[in-house]
């Protein structure tokens, strides 16, 4: 068995200024040699390195023919495992503008980040707005169309095959109700606009009246 020695130390033993200097040293080692940011490894991106070990992210690789630091070409071989592991473990800032959250490993924050933008689906609008501001945008520009209760009635002419969206603000979340009447079917989708991970599941009850242009919904 291993016996602790006097040289063993934990993070609590290391002075904060030493930790900060070490962090910046690691940051300089793993940064992209072009944009100077740590590459963001995903299953869809490729990170290369030159013969001297300098890294370049996929976005920057298309801008250069050789490593700006040492003028050597970038290799097509896979990164050493330890470099990949360091990149995975290194904290990365959320990719959406103005969001100050830092992520570690496969954090799902970006999937639900309210700073990502989406299109206002109100007819004749189409403006892209950060999800966290979308309700305010609808209240200012399309207040008559916002449904703010957990239940209501949608009036959709079923003899016109036109897709329409209705905004619903309920339980602190915004949903788009996507309705599309067809010749034999009437399709309704409830689309949650990401703005922070929901803390609960939602159940929606729908009822239709045959031959009517109305459908009723209720959140539970």
In DSSP notation, 24-84 reads HHHHHHHSBTTT-S-----TT---EEBTT--EE-HHHHTT-SS-TTT-PPBP-SPPPHHHH
Residues 121 and 77 in one domain: no
Asked if residue 162 and residue 74 are part of one domain, the reply reads no
pTM above 0.75, yes or no: no
> Between the CA of residue 206 and those of 153, 183, 190, 203, 218, what are the distances in Å?
10, 20, 11, 10, 7
147 or 155, higher pLDDT? 147
Residue 101 CA neighbour count, 13 Å, CB half: 17
Do 146 and 209 share a domain, yes or no? Answer: yes
Report the run of H or E that residue 218 belongs to, with start and end. Answer: strand 214-219
User: Does some domain include residue 72?
Assistant: yes
Q: Is residue 86 part of a domain?
A: yes
Same structural domain, 126 and 211:
yes
- CB of 189 closer than 8 Å to CB of 164: no
End residue of a domain, out of 90, 109, 142: 90
The domain tally of the chain equals 2
Q: Which residue has the tokens 């072009």?
A: 34
Q: Tens of pLDDT along 41-58?
A: 766 677 888 888 899 988
- How large is the average pLDDT for residues 125-131? 94
Based on the fold, state whether residues 70 and 153 are members of the same structural domain. Answer: no
Higher pLDDT, 214 or 143: 143
Contacts of 200 (CB under 8 A, 6+ apart): 171
Is residue 7 included in any domain, yes or no?
no
- pLDDT score at 132: 94
pLDDT of residue 215: 67
Residues 175 and 122 in one domain: yes
Per the domain annotation, does 140 fall within a domain? yes
Is 130 in the same domain as 80? no
When the pLDDT of each residue in the chain is averaged and rounded to a whole number, the result is 81
**pLDDT, tens only, 95-106:** 898 999 988 766
pLDDT of residue 117: 95
| 125 shares its domain with 166 | yes
Structural domain range at position 135: 117-219
Please write the tens of the pLDDT for every residue from 59-101: 888 888 889 999 999 888 888 888 888 888 888 888 898 999 9
Q: 151 versus 15: which is more confidently predicted?
A: 15
Q: Residue 179: inside a domain, yes or no?
A: yes
**CATH number, domain with residue 67:** 3.30.40.10
125 or 87, which is more confident: 125
Q: For residue 110, is it within any domain?
A: no
> Does any domain span residue 68?
yes
Residues 198 and 123 in one domain: yes
């Amino acid at each position: 068995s291993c016996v602790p020695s006097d040289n063993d130390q934990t993070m609590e033993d290391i002075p904060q200024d030493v930790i900060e200097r070490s962090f910046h040293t690691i940051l300089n080692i793993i940064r992209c040699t072009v944009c100077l940011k740590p590459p963001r490894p995903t299953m869809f991106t490729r990170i290369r390195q030159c013969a001297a070990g300098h890294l370049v992210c996929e976005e920057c690789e298309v801008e250069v023919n050789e490593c700006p630091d040492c003028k050597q070409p970038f290799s097509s071989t896979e990164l050493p495992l330890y470099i990949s592991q360091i990149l995975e473990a290194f904290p990365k800032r959320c990719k959406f503008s103005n969001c100050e959250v830092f992520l570690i490993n496969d954090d799902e924050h970006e999937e639900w980040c309210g700073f990502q933008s989406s299109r206002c689906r109100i007819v004749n609008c189409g403006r892209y707005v950060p999800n966290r501001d979308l309700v305010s945008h609808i209240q200012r520009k399309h207040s008559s169309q916002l449904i703010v209760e957990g239940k209501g009635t949608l009036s959709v002419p079923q003899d016109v095959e036109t897709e329409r969206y209705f905004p619903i603000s309920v339980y602190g979340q915004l949903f788009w109700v996507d309705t599309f009447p067809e010749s034999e079917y009437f399709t309704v989708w409830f689309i949650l606009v990401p703005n922070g991970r929901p803390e609960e599941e939602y159940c929606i009850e729908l009822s239709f009246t045959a031959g009517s242009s109305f459908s009723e919904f209720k959140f539970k």
